Amino acid sequence: SAQVMRDIRAMGERQIQRIGRRNPDIETKLAFLLPEGAKELRFSSRIRLHNVTPAELGAVLFALTHGGDLTGRYRHMIGRAKPFGAGQMRIAAATLSVVANDDGQRTDTASHQPYLDAFLSFMRKQPGLKDFPQVPAVQEFLGACDPTASAPLAATLDYLPLKEFKEIR
């Protein structure tokens, strides 16, 4: 959106002001994939896995779908300018085709749920994870993937000043 672009430009100008000059060695240009006026951009891809257990397939589905969320609430964040809302993506549809190792039988419209359940069952058997996914690491992951949770913080999000980054590094 236009507001996101203004916020990103303002962040860049604040960085330049902190440094006191422009530095062509570290300047970068952002090119957004969303065409002007478009509401969304859709991609299609395939993930092929070989010789995985139902729990392992469930782990992949859990990560891609944020635990099987059907509301579309959560987003994966990729690329740059994430503090300003850029780079958000979500899985709109995930069709599952499974070929069993033992008999070679193929299921093209496999439900995600048995695989998600196998993953949850496996995780809950691990020490300290009997309440999975209600554990801090997963809840932090989901919180970081929820754009509505970070919206109130948007005015305070910024990149670390380069001088401080250099000192920490």
Closest of 145, 122, 123 to residue 134, by C-alpha: 123
> In the prediction, which pLDDT does 60 show?
95
User: pLDDT tens digits, residue range 78-121?
Assistant: 877 776 667 788 888 888 988 888 887 888 777 899 999 999 99
Question: Quick count: other Cβ atoms within 10 Å of Cβ 19?
Answer: 13
pTM for the full predicted model: 0.74
User: pLDDT tens digits, residue range 23-80?
Assistant: 778 777 777 776 677 777 788 888 999 999 999 999 999 999 999 887 888 999 887 7
Query: Which residue did the predictor score with more confidence, 92 or 139?
Result: 139
- The answer to whether residues 106 and 97 touch, using CB atoms and an 8 Å cutoff, is yes
Closest of 39, 4, 116, 12 to residue 70, by C-alpha: 116
Calculate the alpha carbon distances from 26 to 29, 36, 169 in Å: 10, 27, 16
| pLDDT (average), residues 1-20 | 76
Question: What is the distance between the alpha carbons of residues 6 and 151, in angstroms, rounded to a whole number?
Answer: 16
> In the prediction, which pLDDT does 35 show?
66
Residue 168's contacts (CB-CB under 8 Å, 6 or more residues apart) are: 160
Question: What is the distance between the alpha carbons of residues 150 and 18, in angstroms, rounded to a whole number?
Answer: 25
> In the prediction, which pLDDT does 138 show?
95
SS3 content of the chain, % helix, strand, coil (to 5): 40, 5, 55
Question: What is the distance between the alpha carbons of residues 30 and 33, in angstroms, rounded to a whole number?
Answer: 10
pLDDT-derived band of residue 130, with 50, 70 and 90 as boundaries?
very high
> In the prediction, which pLDDT does 71 show?
84
